[in-house]
Structure 1
């Protein structure tokens, strides 16, 4: 049963990392290349769509990692899972303090109501997101290492 939990948790976290990596290094570049107001409209739609899904994915990944720690306490590799879970906690805190406030504003913007500095705010969100991606990639690496 513990093996199934370990694999399931690693897959769930890995998929989350893949989505966030794609947002950071693929989607943002695609959005930035869109003409006129399309960049802002795409970011607003993405913010609404992923903003509804990602909290569950982040918290779910953290909960699964915590269950893995408790179920595997005393087994080899548990320390690696603890570090991975701690990094997932850091990613949730980063999200709540840095990314969510910008996203909550950006997802309501239209070309008619967006602030003059909307691009600067989106660039700030991108920078914070790059840092968060680095944190969750590290968390995933610790979980994979614990698994093998």
Structure 2
């Protein structure tokens, strides 16, 4: 019973993470790329307000649950898959924390009304990092879903 509840929770958490990252890649990023720099900075400040602490909580909770399931489920293949899924979710967290978030924090300091002349557009690099964490999240969802079916 506990395993079943944890399996549902980890699939929901990993699926929520993947869906949010996919939505950003599919819709938000193209819109931000189409904006002139001052509009981009203004919009980024509005868009980022509700991600913290919501997404870190979901990502880290899903990771912890996957780790617990890697030790709890009786099927050895499912244990391995939960471990791989947890590692992929750790990668999502590391990329977010050490790549995307620092760029976001730096951009939030910029005044859209007084754009610096030497401003360097971070959007292409941010997209590379975001794509990387989105791929990790999709892979995590796939292996965690597979583990849940086996478990």
Indicate the SS of the match to 2:25: helix
- Equivalences, count: 148
Partner residue in 2 for 1:24: 25
Partner residue in 2 for 1:136: 137
Contact 1:91/1:136 (8 A) holds in 2: yes
Indicate the SS of the match to 1:77: helix
Indicate the SS of the match to 1:109: coil
| Worse-matched range after superposition: 128-137 or 28-37 | 28-37
CA distance in 2, matches of 1:47, 1:126: 15
Q: How far 1:145 sits from its partner (Å)? A: 0.8
Q: How far 1:118 sits from its partner (Å)? A: 5.0
Q: How far 1:36 sits from its partner (Å)? A: 7.0
CA distance in 1, matches of 2:97, 2:25: 18
Structure 1 stretches lacking a partner, 5+ long: none
TM-score by length of 1: 0.86
Partner residue in 1 for 2:45: 44
- Coordinate RMSD, CA, aligned: 2.2
Per-residue Cα deviation, 1:75-124 (whole angstroms, up to 9, x for no partner)? 54111111000111122122222112111112333313544465621221
Structure 2 stretches lacking a partner, 5+ long: none
Partner residue in 2 for 1:96: 97
TM-score by length of 2: 0.84
